[in-house]
């Protein structure tokens, strides 16, 4: 998703509205029970409540969503505390890209386990996670943009759900954001000054808050300019591609 510290601004953006509309369109028109993994502010949970009778909104921190059809639960996608075949529909969007192995594989197994039939999965498509990287001010290590530790192709996403079949695939948005090994190395030397420092996500290495203070040397500033120039040329020559992929899986 587009990442904003202000979720209201995020939800109002045209790209985010298109992404969510796709997720909703993939769901059955009517169902009894649903699970929203990574509920955050409850925006998708509320949309699910328009179609379902009882929705469970789950996040690492307890969601706060006031709605008669929604039950809020604190939990972990890789260790769901529900019986098998509990939900008619499980929605997991903009979550899997944050999960390192083996949590990623376990989360996908858990999704397939707790759904009776349908799972709606949304992730960034073929994201170059070097683009917009940050440097943690605490541990000094490089972080992928928005804390996305995984990059997904359609085939990779299908392979993560071997007991399910992809029934529908929708591509949403467009992007040309890519970098290259030379630009990335130059940005690494310069301290990644153009990274996604407005993100809420903490350092994937030490869990410290990501922030940036510009104390680059003259040589680091030259490296930054060179990296930016190379990336700009690359983007002009790179065709646009979809930004996200949403997939409807059926349990077999």
How much is the pTM?
0.93
CA distance 195 to 79: 32
Compute the C-alpha angle 191/202/159, nearest 5°: 100
Which of 60, 81, 251 has the alpha carbon at shortest distance from 163? 251
Q: What is the pLDDT of residue 11?
A: 78
CA distance 243 to 123: 9
Bridging pattern class, strands 134-135 and 52-59: unpaired
Which of 43, 118, 47, 48 has the alpha carbon at shortest distance from 87? 118
* Contacts of residue 11, Cβ cutoff 8 Å, sequence gap at least 6: 17, 20, 41, 43
Q: What is the pLDDT of residue 12?
A: 79
* Contacts of residue 31, Cβ cutoff 8 Å, sequence gap at least 6: 51, 52, 53, 88, 89, 118
**Domains of the chain and any CATH numbers:** 7-251 (3.40.50.150)
Q: What is the pLDDT of residue 6?
A: 62
Number of DSSP helices (H) and strands (E) in the chain, helices first: 7, 9
Residues paired with 57 in a beta bridge: 36, 72
Which of 142, 185, 146, 174 has the alpha carbon at shortest distance from 244? 174
Query: Going residue by residue through the chain (252 aa), what tens digit of pLDDT does each one get?
Result: 334 446 777 777 898 999 999 999 999 999 999 999 999 999 999 999 999 999 999 999 999 999 999 999 999 999 999 999 999 999 999 999 999 999 999 999 999 999 999 999 999 999 999 999 999 999 999 999 999 999 999 999 999 999 999 999 999 999 999 999 999 999 999 999 999 998 889 999 999 999 999 999 999 999 999 999 999 999 999 999 999 999 999 999
Under a CB-based contact definition with an 8 Å cutoff, are residues 72 and 100 in contact? no
3-state secondary structure of 40: coil
Q: What is the pLDDT of residue 90?
A: 98
Say what angle helices 218-237 and 181-190 make with each other, to 10 degrees.
Answer: 150
């Amino acid at each position: 998703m587009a990442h904003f510290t202000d979720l209201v601004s995020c939800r109002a953006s045209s790209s985010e509205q298109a992404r969510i509309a796709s997720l909703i369109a993939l769901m059955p028109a009517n169902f009894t029970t649903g699970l929203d993994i990574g509920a955050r502010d409850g925006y998708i949970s509320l949309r699910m409540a328009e179609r379902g009778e009882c929705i469970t909104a789950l996040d690492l921190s307890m969601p706060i969503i006031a709605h008669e059809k929604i039950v809020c639960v604190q939990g972990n996608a890789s260790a769901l505390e529900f019986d098998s075949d509990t939900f008619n529909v499980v929605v997991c969007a903009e979550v899997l890209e944050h999960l390192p192995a083996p949590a990623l594989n376990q989360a996908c197994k858990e999704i397939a386990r707790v759904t009776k039939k349908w799972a709606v999965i949304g992730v960034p498509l073929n994201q170059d996670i070097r683009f917009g990287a940050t440097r943690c001010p605490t541990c000094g290590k490089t972080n992928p943009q928005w804390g996305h530790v995984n990059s997904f192709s359609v085939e990779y996403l299908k392979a993560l759900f071997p007991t399910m079949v992809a029934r529908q695939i929708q591509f949403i948005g467009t992007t040309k954001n890519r970098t290259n090994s030379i630009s990335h190395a130059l940005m690494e030397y310069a301290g990644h000054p153009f990274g996604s420092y407005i993100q809420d996500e903490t350092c994937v290495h030490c869990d410290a808050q990501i922030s940036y203070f510009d104390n680059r040397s003259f040589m680091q500033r030259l490296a930054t300019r060179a990296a930016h120039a190379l990336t700009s040329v690359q983007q002009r020559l790179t065709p646009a591609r979809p930004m996200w992929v949403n997939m409807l899986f059926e349990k077999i």
